[in-house]
Amino acid sequence: MNNRGGYCYKYDEINYKVFENDQIERLARSAATENGMVFKKVVSSTQKEIPPAMEITLKASKDGKTGVYRATFLKEGGAFKLQEFVVKEGNTEGGRCPIL
């Protein structure tokens, strides 16, 4: 587990690669927008190389209510495509890396 720039990363130790914060934020913002929500912030992200995937935990709001969501992306043809956007169970607030 690595905490860099306020975001938490869990990575495959064999194929280590960390995305830049702005790339992760763009993916999170697009997931929230696609689901009719207003993006607030990235809570954490997890990246896998095999299969190529990215899981981002983010805060977003709709109708004035803010919640924590999990967006799962799979890499297809060089780009990450949103596969799943669900309500995250539990709270990952507090500035610490969640146990994933």
pLDDT digit string (tens) for 23-54? 889 999 999 999 999 999 999 888 888 788 88
Mean pLDDT of 3-23: 52
Q: In the structure, what pLDDT confidence band is assigned to residue 95 with cuts at 50, 70 and 90?
A: very low
pLDDT at 89: 61
Question: How far apart, in Å, are the Cα atoms of 34 and each of 27, 28, 43?
Answer: 11, 10, 19
Please, is 8 exposed, middle or buried when counting C-beta atoms within 10 Å of its C-beta (0-12, 13-18, 19+)?
A: buried
- Write the single-letter amino acid at 26: R
CA atoms in the 13 A half-sphere facing the CB of 1: 11
Q: Which domains can be identified in the chain, with CATH numbers? A: 2-87 (3.10.450)
Mean pLDDT of 43-71: 88
Phi, psi of 4 (to 5 degrees): -130, 125
pLDDT at 13: 44
